A = this chain, B = another copy of it.
Amino acid sequence: MWRHEEVRIEGIYRADRRDTFVTRSMESAELEYGGIPGDLHFGWTKKAGAREPMYPRGTEIFNRRQVSVASVEECTRIAEELGIEEVRPEWLGANLAITGYPELSRLSPGSRIIFPDGAGLLCEGENLPCIQPGKILQQRFPDQPQLASRFVKASRGLRGIVCVVEKPGPIRRGETATLAICRSRAENES
């Protein structure tokens, strides 16, 4: 049922400025139910938006994207695809950046990230690309044509995952966490 992999927490970030979704680096954070306190996406509930077309826009719903996690390896692939130097996790609005699991965006929902002090994240699935980070990239690399629109296609399947805080607790940059990968029935039967 479960397969385990080790990953390194390369960065912890929070979107704590009123005018932008771009996150800023932190040494450590306290995961609480709802996410990282002070972060733009923190909360038990959220307002339904473009990603939840089954609800009228603005409806209060459960927040399943409390914490977003990016893979450093996938960020590198997006940068290569776009022909730019780098794509920083902060520019995607990521809360965590990890190395050691280059296929992060394909992590099966129901998988967990377990931290050394016992905190845990529950993977809710792939983070879907939106155009906003592309606009940030365009500001950073003004000489590159049409980065904003090219970003969505270039980052498809590489945007990392969204998670719910399953178990609160402290997390620190540089520590090693364990991925508990939920295997599908097909994998279990093979």
Q: A54-B114, A120-B55, A185-B126 are in contact. Are A164 and B62 (CB under 8 A)?
A: yes
Contact of A62 with B44 in the complex, beta carbons under 8 Å: no
Q: A109-B109, A125-B109, A185-B126 are in contact. Are A120 and B54 (CB under 8 A)?
A: yes
Contacts of A164 in B (CB 8 A): 62, 64
Contact of A185 with B167 in the complex, beta carbons under 8 Å: no
Determine the distance from Cα of A167 to Cα of B52 in the docked complex, in whole angstroms: 11
Contact of A185 with B166 in the complex, beta carbons under 8 Å: no
Contacts of A45 in B (CB 8 A): 33
Contacts of A165 in B (CB 8 A): 62
27 of the cross-chain contacts (CB-CB < 8 Å) are A2-B53, A2-B54, A33-B44, A33-B62, A54-B114, A54-B120, A54-B178, A54-B180, A55-B120, A60-B167, A61-B120, A61-B166, A61-B167, A62-B165, A62-B166, A62-B167, A64-B122, A64-B166, A108-B109, A109-B109, A109-B110, A109-B124, A109-B125, A110-B125, A126-B185, A156-B185, A157-B185
